[in-house]
């Protein structure tokens, strides 16, 4: 699947105001979200190649294609701790796109069997880090998913247990990664098939229109492409 996104930062003092603006624009109230993301590094290439970009480049791929993958779960839902994990793989964004970030991504909900790969000692993945995204809010506006959240880092101690199974870290122990308290804003559109140019055009047009609409209130921009680089360095 292909994703087009734009980003922005919102200072803590403006957060309330921005939420109100978004509520006005989308004609809906925000849904509070609380996400936990685990970041893993591939230890070795998967044979099926399904964990990498679906573009199917696996044939002549050297080891430098090891990438970072994520497991995400939504802790706000009714299941809380037992919420299923979603696997997410992001590709490096396509170069030459000055107006938005365009990248191929894969997302699946993983069952127990696949999650095994992520546990320690299985050699497929190496756990790197994790973060919590809370407080967070989400709006859906036509086809655009808009999210604002703060990123918190998780205290060290939880590394002892398998992070997949560990209890949710207590919020009071977690520190903001960005001590200034800025919220991170993302507007994203997903297209099932990145090759369908008509869809792609429609999606990008919608994203750009949204950017225009909130211009002045929220300045959406394209961060440096390499900040999204999921390739593991040095391999």
Interface positions with other proteins (CB under 8 A): 7-9, 11-13, 15-17, 19-20, 23, 29-30, 32, 37, 39, 41, 68, 90, 128-131, 135, 137, 151, 153, 175-182, 184, 223-224, 227-230, 232
Q: Please, what is the minimum distance in Å from the beta carbon of residue 234 to other proteins? A: 12
The CA R_g of the chain, rounded to the nearest whole Å, is 18
> Which residues pair with residue 132 across a beta bridge?
36, 152
Q: Please, what is the minimum distance in Å from the beta carbon of residue 49 to other proteins? A: 21
Q: How many residues comprise the chain?
A: 235
DSSP character string of 38-90? EEEEESS--SS-TTS-TTT--TT--GGG-BEEEEEEESSSTTGGGPPPEEEEE
CA atoms within 13 A on the CB side of 6: 22
The tokens describing 133, both together, are: 């995204």
Ordered alpha helix ranges (H), the chain: 15-26, 112-115, 197-213
The tokens describing 91, both together, are: 């590709």
If the CB atoms of residues 120 and 196 are measured against other proteins, the closer one turns out to be 120
If the CB atoms of residues 11 and 157 are measured against other proteins, the closer one turns out to be 11
Q: Please, what is the minimum distance in Å from the beta carbon of residue 146 to other proteins? A: 15
If the CB atoms of residues 12 and 109 are measured against other proteins, the closer one turns out to be 12
What angle is formed at CA 149 by the lines to CA 10 and CA 119, rounded to 5 degrees? 145
Q: Please, what is the minimum distance in Å from the beta carbon of residue 228 to other proteins? A: 6
If the CB atoms of residues 7 and 87 are measured against other proteins, the closer one turns out to be 7
Q: Please, what is the minimum distance in Å from the beta carbon of residue 196 to other proteins? A: 27
CB atoms inside a 10 Å sphere around CB 44: 12
If the CB atoms of residues 37 and 58 are measured against other proteins, the closer one turns out to be 37
């Amino acid at each position: 699947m292909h994703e087009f996104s734009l980003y922005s930062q919102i200072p803590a003092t403006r957060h309330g105001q921005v939420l109100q603006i978004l509520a006005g624009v989308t004609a809906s109230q925000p849904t509070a979200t609380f996400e936990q993301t685990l970041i893993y590094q591939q230890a070795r290439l998967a044979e099926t190649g399904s964990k990498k970009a679906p573009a199917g480049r696996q044939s002549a791929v050297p080891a430098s294609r090891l990438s970072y993958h994520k497991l995400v779960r939504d802790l706000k839902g009714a299941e809380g701790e037992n919420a299923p994990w979603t696997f997410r793989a992001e590709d490096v964004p396509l170069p030459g796109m000055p107006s938005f970030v365009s990248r191929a991504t894969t997302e699946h909900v993983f069952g127990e069997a696949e999650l095994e790969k992520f546990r320690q000692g299985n050699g497929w993945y190496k756990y790197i880090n994790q973060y919590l995204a809370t407080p967070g809010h989400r709006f859906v506006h036509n086809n655009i998913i808009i999210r604002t959240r703060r990123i918190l880092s998780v205290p060290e101690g939880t590394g002892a247990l398998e992070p997949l199974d560990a209890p949710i870290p207590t919020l009071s122990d977690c520190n903001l990664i960005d001590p200034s308290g800025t919220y991170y804003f993302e507007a994203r559109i997903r297209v099932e098939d990145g090759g369908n140019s008509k869809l792609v055009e429609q999606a990008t047009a919608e994203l750009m229109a949204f950017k225009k609409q909130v211009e002045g209130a929220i300045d959406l921009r394209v961060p440096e492409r390499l900040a999204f680089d999921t390739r593991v360095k040095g391999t």
